[in-house]
């Protein structure tokens, strides 16, 4: 990926250095042909993680004449800027025969079938050869392509000699082909930087907001990580985006990644960018949309046999991207779809290419952190990029991080694949049976769950299986079983890639899933090391959320560094805007879940709704609990309020219809029954009279399950806080998120009711945010008077 920075020049003026890796340059210039994601057709795609290990193994065998990982840089002066090429040759071999540049490519494919090297790989080696020959005065130099099959470790090599004169001509032609792209980047950067110099904060600063903006800017300036606990109303999106943009204007970064967990927060980020543009900012902004939402085909099947746009995509996509970036500043989904239609290319792949030329990239966490999805266009090189990461709703990244770096293998899926390939490949059948037998042995020993110190021997069987699956899929054409076998293969490959990461931050265990299938888990209990590796790709990171309490919990799980900053932004809202009360005569404890308790909770809801007509959200710890209380509420409601209830299988249209009910005019109150931690407990923005109260039944503790108990055991041994890390902290986060739905603007007033006596315990009150210092304690009898007093103010 290109990076742009300002450098001092001897002529006492500033030049711009546009940096790009050799690999990204040659892949961009020389790519051609089809998109083809079928196994066996994508032989060019290296397996990054496993490949790194094999690189080192091959280099270690090469002897004294071989220098490994040789950094190479070349600056190519242009009229107004310098193009800086950077890379690292896998090896330089120097002996009596001369100098050879070695380029190693590791992949999951039978490399012995190759008749010639893949040209983009050869071009990468030729670039390194040119730079090395230029800097060392060589008239001739050779390149060697070393291909390695990751499954079998078989090696295939190709070697070719070049004169420096020929290489120089070739290199100059390549740079000329790339020049229009760098000319554009230089010209656009001048426009962007000039616009930032006069950009002002678009609102009067709220209380504490000026300090927050300064904290973000200083963190970026110091290349650090900052955790911000920012209550609702602090304007955290503008308070992070604005200083990040100003930091770019001071050459402290070049690209901003605004990372979110939900679509609605991406919309807020885009709206904030539009606001800053209206104030004079010139920046190209892209919102990356999931592949399945961009694909125009009825079934997403990315190969030239099933998609006309996949056929010849790489022959057309550069023209499509250049047209887009030179005519548009907003790369919206609609614009991308129209451009893809015009050039008949894949809209998703084109959007990823267009992101290279965006100044602000708004996207899901996956694009930076997920080992299977991350943007290799930006993050495939070891060098740190000029990137600023803004991580919104960062509390979500703990569980998302665990999911990304965990893996599971299901015994029954092994058996299914064995049946699918029966009679087609004896070796593959035998390998599947061997793996199945081992898992059957573990299954017989497992009652609830079993923790393993190691699965080393089994891992070798899985590696053998993966190699045979790869050969099978390459050698077979289209077949009815292909899709299922491919899905199993890809899952197995992810499992093995995660196995390479297993360390003290993982727990290996087996259990049974909800359908009684036997599963082997690589469970990443602490994702901080893996997430930190991703953060190292940028210069600075800002984590922010309305619920990052206790902050040390999030600091420990989202980053492995110990010198990170943390700040608590002051709330912009007044204490008198809300009535926060705790119901001390109700509980959601399992031992208290009786008909009488459900009836008492229903009476609490009735009293709150009677005090003032309006819309209310009532949250419960589970669907079953919600349904039990709902039944009791209908019995006491006497049609005083309208009611609706969240269901467990709502699609996007259902969710929108549910939220729309809050805007519909009605003559009575609305009671919306929802599940705590579900789709309506965070991310929805119901301002002013659209929502005047939230009632939260229970402390939000996750349901007891094997994974939670494993977490508890791990952290009890790690720091003596097993219950806190596994249950209490995640539970209170859900409570705080739900409570944050009710006061959204300076003119809002509303009720927050915590209906569980456990909230009075000191361990829970210590987790209350600073702005919850004033609260009232009530019973069913005392609450009506307090409600009347509050609403009369």
Residue 532 resides in a domain: no
Contact by Cβ (8 Å): 686, 668: no
Residue that terminates a domain, selected from 155, 181, 207: 181
What's residue 3's pLDDT?
Answer: 61
| DSSP 8-state class, residue 576 | G
Residue 529 resides in a domain: no
C-alpha span between 425 and 473 (Å, rounded): 11
Query: Is the alpha carbon torsion for 50, 56, 61, 65 positive or negative?
Result: positive
C-alpha span between 570 and 229 (Å, rounded): 9
Give the CATH number for residue 319. 3.40.50.300
Residue 491 sits in the same domain as residue 558: no
C-alpha span between 722 and 120 (Å, rounded): 51
Residue 559 sits in the same domain as residue 432: no
Residue 126 sits in the same domain as residue 44: yes
What's residue 383's pLDDT?
Answer: 67
Q: Can you state the angle between helices 397-404 and 551-558, rounded to 10 degrees?
A: 20
Q: Please tell me the total count of domains within the chain.
A: 4
Give the CATH number for residue 464. 1.10.275
Residue 548 sits in the same domain as residue 520: no
Residue 490 resides in a domain: yes
Residues in the chain: 793
Residue 386 sits in the same domain as residue 495: no
Residue 494 sits in the same domain as residue 373: no
Residue that terminates a domain, selected from 131, 146, 181: 181
Residue 92 resides in a domain: yes
What tokens were used for 344?
Answer: 């008949």
Determine the structural domain holding residue 145 and report its residue range. 37-72+87-181
What's residue 46's pLDDT?
Answer: 46
Residue 276 sits in the same domain as residue 169: no
What's residue 481's pLDDT?
Answer: 85
| DSSP 8-state class, residue 572 | S
Of 557, 547, 551, nearest in space to 230 by CA: 547
Residue that terminates a domain, selected from 157, 181, 205: 181
Mean pLDDT by 10 residues, the chain (793 residues): 51 65 91 78 46 76 88 92 92 92 86 89 96 96 92 88 96 95 94 97 90 97 97 90 98 96 88 97 96 88 88 94 96 94 95 96 96 86 84 97 98 96 94 97 96 93 92 80 91 94 97 96 98 96 95 97 93 87 95 95 97 96 96 93 94 92 94 94 84 96 96 97 98 95 87 97 96 95 96 90
Residue 367 sits in the same domain as residue 275: yes
Residue 622 resides in a domain: yes
Contact by Cβ (8 Å): 364, 489: no
Residue 101 sits in the same domain as residue 115: yes
Residue 373 resides in a domain: yes
Residue 249 sits in the same domain as residue 362: yes
HSE toward the beta carbon, residue 622, CA cutoff 13 A = 11
Residue 514 resides in a domain: yes
Of 399, 417, 412, 404, nearest in space to 372 by CA: 404
Residue 416 sits in the same domain as residue 292: no
Residue 267 resides in a domain: yes
Residue 427 sits in the same domain as residue 503: yes
**Torsion on CA atoms 300, 523, 621, 369, rounded to nearest 10:** -50
pTM of the model: 0.91
| H or E element in which residue 438 lies | helix 426-445
């Amino acid at each position: 990926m290109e990076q742009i920075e300002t450098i001092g020049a001897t002529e006492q003026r500033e030049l711009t250095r546009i940096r790009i890796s050799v690999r990204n340059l040659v892949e961009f210039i020389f790519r051609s042909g089809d998109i083809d994601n079928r196994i066996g057709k994508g032989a060019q795609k290296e397996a990054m993680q496993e490949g790194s290990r094999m690189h080192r193994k091959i280099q270690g065998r090469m002897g004294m004449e071989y220098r490994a990982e040789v950094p190479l840089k070349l600056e190519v002066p242009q009229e107004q800027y310098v193009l800086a090429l950077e890379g690292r040759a896998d090896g330089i071999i120097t002996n009596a025969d001369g100098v050879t540049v070695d380029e190693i490519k590791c992949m999951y494919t039978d490399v012995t079938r190759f008749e010639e090297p893949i040209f983009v790989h050869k071009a990468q080696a030729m670039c390194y050869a040119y730079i090395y020959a230029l800097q060392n005065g060589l008239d001739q130099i050779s390149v060697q392509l070393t291909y390695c099959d990751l499954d079998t470790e078989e090696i295939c090599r190709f070697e070719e000699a070049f004169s420096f004169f020929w290489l120089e001509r070739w290199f100059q032609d390549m740079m000329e082909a790339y020049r229009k792209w760098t000319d554009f980047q230089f010209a656009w950067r001048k426009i962007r930087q000039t616009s930032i110099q006069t950009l002002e904060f678009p609102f009067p600063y709220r209380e504490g907001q000026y300090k927050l903006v300064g904290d973000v800017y200083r963190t970026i300036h110091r290349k650090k990580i900052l955790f911000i606990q920012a209550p609702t109303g602090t304007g955290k999106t503008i308070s992070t985006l604005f200083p990040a943009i100003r930091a770019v204007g001071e050459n402290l970064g070049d690209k901003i990644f605004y990372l979110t967990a939900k679509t609605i927060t991406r919309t807020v980020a885009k709206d904030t960018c539009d606001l800053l543009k209206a104030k004079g900012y010139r920046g190209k902004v892209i919102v990356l949309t999931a592949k399945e939402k961009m694909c125009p085909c009825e079934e997403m099947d990315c190969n030239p046999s099933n998609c006309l746009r996949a056929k010849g995509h790489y022959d057309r996509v550069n023209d499509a991207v250049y047209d887009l970036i030179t005519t548009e500043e907003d790369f919206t989904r609609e614009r991308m779809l129209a451009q893809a239609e015009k050039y008949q290319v894949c809209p998703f792949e084109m959007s990823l290419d267009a992101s290279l030329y965006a100044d602000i990239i708004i996207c899901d966490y996956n694009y930076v952190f997920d080992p299977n999805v991350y943007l290799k266009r930006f993050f495939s090189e070891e060098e740190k990029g000029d990137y600023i990461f803004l991580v919104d709703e960062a509390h979500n990244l703990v569980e998302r991080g665990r999911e990304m770096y965990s893996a599971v293998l299901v015994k029954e899926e092994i058996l299914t694949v064995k049946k699918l390939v029966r009679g087609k490949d004896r070796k593959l059948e035998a390998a599947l049976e061997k793996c199945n037998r081992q898992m059957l042995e573990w299954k017989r020993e497992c009652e609830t769950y079993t923790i393993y110190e190691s699965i080393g021997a089994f891992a070798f069987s899985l590696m053998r299986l993966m190699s045979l699956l790869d050969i099978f899929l390459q050698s077979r054409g289209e077949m009815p079983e292909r899709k299922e076998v491919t899905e199993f293969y890809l899952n197995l490959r992810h499992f093995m890639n995660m196995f390479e990461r297993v360390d003290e931050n993982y727990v290996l265990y087996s259990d049974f899933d909800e359908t009684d299938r036997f599963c082997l888990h690589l469970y990443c209990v602490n994702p901080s090391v893996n997430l930190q590796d991703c953060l190292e790709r940028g210069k600075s990171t800002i984590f922010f959320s309305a619920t990052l309490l206790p902050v040390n919990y999030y600091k420990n799980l989202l980053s492995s560094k110990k010198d990170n900053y943390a700040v608590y932004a002051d709330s912009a809202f007044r204490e008198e805007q809300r009535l926060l009360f705790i119901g001390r005569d109700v509980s959601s404890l399992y031992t208290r879940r009786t008909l009488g308790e459900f009836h008492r909770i229903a009476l609490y809801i009735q009293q709150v709704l009677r005090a003032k007509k309006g819309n209310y959200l009532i949250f419960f710890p589970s669907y079953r609990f919600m349904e039990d209380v709902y039944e009791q509420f209908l019995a006491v409601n006497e049609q005083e309020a309208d009611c609706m209830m969240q269901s467990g299988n709502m699609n996007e249209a259902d969710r929108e219809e549910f939220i729309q009910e809050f805007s519909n005019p009605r003559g009575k109150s609305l009671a919306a029954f929802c599940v705590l931690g579900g789709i309506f407990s965070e991310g929805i923005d119901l301002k002013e009279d659209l929502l005047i109260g939230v009632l939260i039944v229970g402390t939000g503790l996750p349901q007891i399950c094997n994974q939670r108990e494993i977490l508890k055991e791990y952290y009890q041994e790690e720091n003596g806080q097993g219950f806190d890390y596994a249950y209490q902290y995640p539970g209170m986060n859900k409570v705080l998120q739900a409570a944050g739905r009710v006061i959204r603007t300076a003119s809002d007033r509303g009720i927050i009711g915590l209906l569980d006596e456990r909230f009075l315990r000191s361990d829970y009150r210590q987790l209350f945010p600073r702005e919850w210092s004033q609260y009232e304690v009530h019973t069913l009898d005392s609450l009506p008077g307090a409600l009347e007093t509050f609403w009369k103010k």
